[in-house]
Every structure is written in C-alpha cells, then in structure tokens.
Structure 1
Amino acid sequence: MTQFGDDLIQAMSEALAHVKGEGPGVVHEPADPKAVRAKAKLTQKEMAPLMGMSVSGYRKWEQGERSVSGPAEVLLKVIEKEPEAVARALA
C-alpha cells in the first residue's frame, strides 16, 4: 500500500476511535475574543490588526455572527497571555 493509503487508514481509525470516545482526545476551551481584548486592554480597532483582519470582521466575532477557528483561535490565546509579544512580532 502507498504512504497515502496508510495515512488515510490511520486517520480514519483515529476518527472512529474519537467518535467512540476512545483514544487521546484533546479538547480546548474556545477563546472569547471580547474577553481576550478586554484583558489586553485593547480597542477593537487595535485588536483587529493583531489578528490580521478588518475591524468589522473582528466585531462579528465578538457579536457571535462569525466563529473563531483554527490558527485564529491559537493567536487569540497567545494574545491573551502575551499581547506585547504579538505586537512586537508584527511591528
């Protein structure tokens, strides 16, 4: 079998185990954009560029019109812990 086939079988086996409640499932608490921003003492206008997005897009997260996912979720958690580090990295 090819490497792709092996990887696909492994991925499907892991997915099935997860559905059954077996195996090492990792659950992360979702970040609350508004709470993160408040903790960092930033305005929406200051926060949006840190997230690489428009103010209106960021506002939709806070209002629950859009959900945060993937890398944006991770970046929110970094901003929550180290807002100055993110600002320095983007400067």
Structure 2
Amino acid sequence: MSDAFKSIEQGLKEAIAHARGGEAVTIHEIDIPDADVQAIRARTGLSQAEFARSIGVKKATLLNWEQRRRAPDGPARVLLALIDKDPSIVQRTLAG
C-alpha cells in the first residue's frame, strides 16, 4: 500500500470512530482575516482580468469583492490569505 492510501485509510477510520462517538478527533481551526482584495491584487501587479483568471474566478466576482458588494468565502478566502502573505505564490506554484 502507498503512503497516500495509508493516510486516507487512517483518516476514514478516525472519521468512523468519531461518528460512532468514539475517540476525540483533533480539529484544526485557522482564523482567516477579512481580505482587502484590491490591495492584495495590487501587490501582485496583475490587472483585474489577469488576477481573476489566476485564481479561477470571473472578473465580475473579483469586481464585487474589490468594491465590497460581496465578500470571498471558503477556499477563496484561504487562497487570498496566502496571496496576501506571498503575492507570487500562485504563479510560482502553478508555473509549468
């Protein structure tokens, strides 16, 4: 068995035990601050269209975030927090 399979198998066993009221499971919570999307994008040096494309959202979505009509949530918040800490993380990580 591969290490990945063993890890997945262990996770499933822990989930089943937790669901049955068994042993306590460690839950990791991370506080993600509200994102200033316009400032984050500006630090990347990308246009709105380029930035939206680089993070996999529509330009209209990005505009709504930048103008604070809507707020990013879930994975988008995490991704923006990462970009806030390291503006070139997406390009560097996904570069072919």
One fold, TM greater than 0.5?
Answer: yes
TM-score bracket, normalised by the shorter chain, equals 0.5 to 0.7
Look up the SS of the partner of 1:83 in the other structure. Answer: coil
Contact 1:37 1:44 in 2 (8 A): yes
Q: Does 1:30 align with 2:21?
A: no
TM (norm. structure 1) is 0.64
Look up the SS of the partner of 2:65 in the other structure. Answer: helix
1:2-41 map, 5 Å: 3=17, 4-6=19-21, 27-41=31-45
Sequence identity of aligned pairs in percent? 36
Unaligned runs of at least 5 residues, structure 2? 1-15
Stretches of 4+ aligned residues off by more than 6 angstroms? none
User: Alpha carbon RMSD of aligned pairs, Å?
Assistant: 2.6
1:1-91 map, 5 Å: 3=17, 4-6=19-21, 27-91=31-95
Contact 2:65 2:72 in 1 (8 A): yes
TM (norm. structure 2) is 0.62
Paired positions, count:
76
